[in-house]
Structure 1
Amino acid sequence: MHALKIVWDPTKGFDILGFTLHFYSMMWIVAFILGFYIMKRIYKHEKQSEESLDSLFIYSVIGIMLGARLGHVIFYQRELFTEDFFSIFLPVKFKGGFEFTGFQGLASHGAAIGMIISMYFYNKKVLRKSVVWILDRVVIPVASGAVFVRLGNFINSEIVGKPTGTEFGVVFAQNGESFPRHPAQLYEAFCYIFVFIALWFFYWKTKKSEQQGFLFGLFLVLLWAIRFFVEFVKEPQSEHEYIATSALNTGQLLSIPFILIGLYFMFMYKPKKQLA
């Protein structure tokens, strides 16, 4: 039986009027559109208005994208603050010549923090129920979106895994390589499917949606536990990746607090008052 080795060398996008529309950007668009329709079904079930759903979409896009971008720069590419500041917030780069880059350089830890902050303001300005209530529900489409984001990373041949040392794996020819690596992006995408299924099941088929904080906590525990273990086969993303005196990389160290917070919400969190 021959070992499985795949040579991966796809195009990253296609040209439209002189601009390249990257498939990675399209994966983010698919993630948000699918998430919108998932939340539409949930909001209909919860008897929430379409106006509040539209506002949720806007808050989510801004919070997740801004958080993901700032998270990447702070955790992995801090030199942009001094070398190419405006590229942090715009889909273009200026250093080395003007270039339209689309969405790139986005960190999932930053996206999670941005989502939580944006849901706080959304609840305060629009929903006026409980920030935990909305977090329990918004994590369901977020989990589905994570699948497409990692597929986008795979298309881009980024966030690659370590060399397998065997004939098993994926050869990322776009990166000028000829040896197989772990397809870490696909490992994560595959596992995130089951995170989505678990959240979907607990919301629709059990009474856990009535236990405030449980679904949010379950999301944090499952998603970041997966991230923690997949990091063992990932290549470092930058020179800031490893912390001195630690065998764990930045992604793993950032995942641990999320897991602990998730356990708290699953088993210890008690709302101050029950919703009417």
Structure 2
Amino acid sequence: MAFLSYIIWNTSPEIFSMGSFGLRWYGLLFAVGFLLSQQVLYYIYRKEGKPEKDVDTLTIYMVVATILGARLGHVIFYQPELFIEDPLSILLPFEFSPFRFTGLQGLASHGGAIGILFALWLYSRKKKPGQNYLQVLDRIVIVVALTGALIRLGNFFNSEIIGLPSNNPLSVVFVNRVTESIISKKDSPVQYVKVERNKDLPEGANGRVPIYIYVVFKPNVEQMIAKNYLESDVQYYLNYFNEHIDNQGAALKYKADIDGDGNYTARISTFGIARHPAQLYESISCVVLFVILFLIWNRKKENTPTGLIFGLFMIILWGLRFAYEFLKEDQVDFEAGMALNMGQILSIPLFIAGILILIWSLRNKEKTNI
């Protein structure tokens, strides 16, 4: 067996929680992305002799446009039924019964892109020197790439936007949703859960890999209660999360024991599904894109041909997005059987727009107000 055969990801998406409020890695990385982007924009505006206070205004435009655009884009492109079935959930970051903070669940990058394009058009109408529409976009997309990298890293922590099954050495088995469900169920008798490779069995085809799930129960939990929880609730979760665990509906295979602290434990033998870490592919690509665009800007700064950076951004980002979608699972049921999924269909016009803008920029190297 190869030294690096697959990675087990069992990190909680939540940093901490207090009552109905929980701080998640996704939300933190989302916020950090905007804070870092603001600092980079300060640097760019200082070097170009533009007012730094304009960055504060741009940041507000960007935050509002990204959140509203991404949320509305997700609903329009992927869940239009929410407009009729549950319109309040579209923009409310919490649930009522029971009350708990959830954040805005379901954000689409294409919707965020449309929101940003519209918001910056509104901003550019102020006719500030050196800040026409394309000039602003040229600077903004540099930091959009940086923010996108952190957002995709947040998707990885959430175990969402998962890739297809793979036997690639760096494939990932996402088990944190499974282990969290086992522990966090109301009145759960489980103290903690850990997952390890089962090195005694060979890996299967199509990402099927052997794993051990160790369930450690709380002190003084009776053996019968533990046994019932294993064979009912734990069995249910292993079958329910069939995108991560390949239990095939079989009866639970486990070995029970008492650990050194006197706690009842069980070692479950099952199979995980190793997948392409598509979120990390996109995150790393966005970091590289950020570096490329920043270096292009840094060569000539305010003398960079108008539209050059924006055009390259649109071509590279949406071209890669189109390609990476071939490594991902469908995000929604209606994509099953489609030759191209929704993400790819939405990427095509943005990619073409990038080509047209780049051609225009190269033909008009003198900066032009648009």
Same fold at TM > 0.5: yes
Is the 1:52–1:127 Cα contact (8 Å) retained in structure 2?
Answer: no
Is the 1:52–1:126 Cα contact (8 Å) retained in structure 2?
Answer: no
**Could you tell me how far apart the structure 1 residues matched to 2:317 and 2:89 are?**
29
Choose 6-15 or 202-211, whichever is displaced more.
202-211
Amino acid of the structure 2 residue aligned with 1:187: Y
Tell me which residue corresponds to 2:285: 191
> SS of the residue aligned with 1:151?
helix
> SS of the residue aligned with 1:90?
coil
Consecutive unaligned residues of structure 2, counting only runs of 5 or more, are 179-243, 245-271
Amino acid of the structure 1 residue aligned with 2:40: I
**Could you tell me how far apart the structure 1 residues matched to 2:281 and 2:103 are?**
25
CA offsets per residue over residues 242-267 of structure 1, 9 Å max, x none?
5x7x5111111111111110011111
* Superposition map of 1:71-110 within 5 A: 71-94=73-96, 97-110=98-111
Aligned length: 272
Is the 1:218–1:266 Cα contact (8 Å) retained in structure 2?
Answer: yes
**Could you tell me how far apart the structure 1 residues matched to 2:286 and 2:304 are?**
23
1:167 is displaced (CA, Å) by 6.5
**Could you tell me how far apart the structure 1 residues matched to 2:124 and 2:83 are?**
32
Tell me which residue corresponds to 1:160: 162
Alignment of 1:201 with 2:295, yes or no, is yes
- Which protein is richer in strand relative to its size? 2
Choose 158-167 or 52-61, whichever is displaced more.
158-167
Is the 2:21–2:100 Cα contact (8 Å) retained in structure 1?
Answer: no
Identity of aligned residues (%): 42
Tell me which residue corresponds to 2:221: none
> SS of the residue aligned with 2:293?
helix
**Could you tell me how far apart the structure 2 residues matched to 1:186 and 1:152 are?**
10
> SS of the residue aligned with 2:8?
strand
Provide runs of 4+ in structure 1 moved above 6 Å.
Answer: none
Consecutive unaligned residues of structure 1, counting only runs of 5 or more, are none
**Could you tell me how far apart the structure 2 residues matched to 1:209 and 1:110 are?**
31
Tell me which residue corresponds to 1:233: 327
Alignment of 1:8 with 2:13, yes or no, is no
TM-score (normalised: structure 2): 0.69
Amino acid of the structure 1 residue aligned with 2:285: C
CA 1:75–1:3 in structure 2 vs 1: closer, same or farther (change >3 Å)?
same
Aligned Cα root-mean-square deviation (Å) = 2.2
**Could you tell me how far apart the structure 2 residues matched to 1:166 and 1:198 are?**
28
> SS of the residue aligned with 1:15?
strand
- Which protein is richer in helix relative to its size? 1
1:50 is displaced (CA, Å) by 2.6
Decide which structure has the larger Cα Rg and report it: 2
Alignment of 1:223 with 2:317, yes or no, is yes
